């Protein structure tokens, strides 16, 4: 997997053709992932880089945040001087502007493709509660049923709520428990009962099913999309 460093814009040679090569090489790797219907980790990576470059374009002071930070404390003042020289160097700033004018729309095009793929996959998935769910649904089980493989991946999940003055944020942590090979005798309701017997620490668990009808990469696509769908579902019901 090709990566694009956080400080790629300002590390090394600040030259349009050089940075263009670095970016296009990275995006080529991203494109090959998307062609295979693999969303993560590249989709979140693209969102970060696109937002980062937009912020820098709007506020050049943020350039300093993008300089390499793997330095000794004694070199910090030198870094500040180096940054000041770049900001005061009109030719370098024009080169950075040139790079930004190419990089932002180029990243956006690939990002939009990734978002389109995400939306297409999300439309195919649906969260369904199994049995009666308790009022407290922040802990429980997530069943991801892969029809193409006749298997159900079983995870325990925990949703954490973070609050600030303006709004709440929800994060989800999952722990893999087991893989169940589907049989006619095994229903999702019976699977829930088996989980209650096997893991008595959750005697009345919220249990949700995400049914995946088409074959797709599990860890790079199905799992992360299912997790986000579950968070949205529980948030809407809260």
Q: What is the pLDDT of residues 49-101, one digit of tens each?
A: 999 899 888 876 556 555 554 444 455 455 555 556 665 556 778 898 999 99
- Please report which confidence band the pLDDT of residue 125 belongs to, taking 50, 70 and 90 as the band edges: very high
Supply the range of the domain harboring residue 179. 125-237
Strand order in the sheet with 127-129: 127-129, 206-212, 139-146, 151-163, 168-181
Same domain, 84 and 141: no
Q: Report if residue 3 sits inside a domain.
A: no
Same domain, 229 and 131: yes
Same domain, 47 and 104: yes
Question: What's the mean per-residue pLDDT of the chain?
Answer: 87
Which of 123, 143, 166 marks a domain boundary? Answer: 123
- In tens, the pLDDT along 25-55 reads 999 999 999 999 999 999 999 999 999 899 8
Q: Report if residue 9 sits inside a domain.
A: no
Q: Is the pLDDT of residue 145 over 90?
A: yes
- Please report which confidence band the pLDDT of residue 11 belongs to, taking 50, 70 and 90 as the band edges: confident
pLDDT more than 70, % of the chain: 84
Q: What is the pLDDT of residue 72?
A: 47
* d(C-alpha 47, C-alpha 110), whole Å: 10
Same domain, 149 and 56: no
* d(C-alpha 71, C-alpha 42), whole Å: 28
* pTM, two decimal places: 0.82
At residue 52's C-alpha, the angle toward residues 13 and 56, to 5°, is: 70
Same domain, 116 and 155: no
188: CB partners within 8 A, 6+ apart: 130, 143, 145, 152, 207, 209
Q: pLDDT higher for 183 or 232?
A: 232
Same domain, 221 and 135: yes
Q: What is the pLDDT of residue 57?
A: 85
Q: Report if residue 53 sits inside a domain.
A: yes
Which residue, 19, 18, 17, 1, is CA-closest to 9? 19
Same domain, 157 and 78: no
Same domain, 150 and 210: yes
Q: Is the pLDDT of residue 106 over 70?
A: yes
Indicate the number of domains in the chain.
2
Which of 123, 151, 176 marks a domain boundary? Answer: 123
Q: What is the pLDDT of residue 170?
A: 83
Which of 92, 123, 154 marks a domain boundary? Answer: 123
């Amino acid at each position: 997997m090709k990566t694009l460093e956080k400080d790629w814009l300002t590390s090394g040679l600040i030259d349009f053709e050089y940075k263009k090569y670095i970016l296009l090489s990275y995006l080529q790797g991203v494109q090959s992932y998307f062609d295979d219907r693999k969303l993560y980790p590249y989709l979140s990576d693209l969102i970060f880089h696109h937002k980062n470059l937009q912020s820098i374009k709007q506020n050049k002071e943020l350039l300093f945040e993008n300089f390499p930070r793997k330095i000794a404390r004694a070199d910090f003042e030198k870094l500040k001087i180096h940054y000041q020289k770049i900001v005061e160097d009109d030719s370098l700033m024009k080169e950075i502007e040139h790079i930004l004018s190419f990089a932002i729309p180029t990243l956006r095009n690939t990002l939009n493709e990734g978002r389109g793929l995400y939306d297409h996959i999300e439309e195919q998935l649906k969260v369904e509660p199994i049995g009666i769910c308790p009022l407290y649904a922040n802990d429980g089980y997530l069943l991801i049923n892969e029809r193409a493989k006749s298997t159900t991946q079983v995870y325990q999940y925990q949703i954490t709520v973070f609050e600030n003055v303006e709004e709440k944020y929800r994060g989800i942590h999952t722990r893999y428990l087991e893989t169940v090979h589907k049989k006619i005798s095994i229903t999702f309701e019976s699977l829930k009962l088996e989980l209650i017997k096997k893991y008595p620490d959750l005697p009345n668990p919220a249990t949700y099913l995400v049914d995946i009808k088409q074959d797709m990469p599990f860890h790079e696509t199905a799992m992360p999309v299912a997790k986000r769908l579950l968070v949205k579902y529980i948030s809407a019901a809260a």
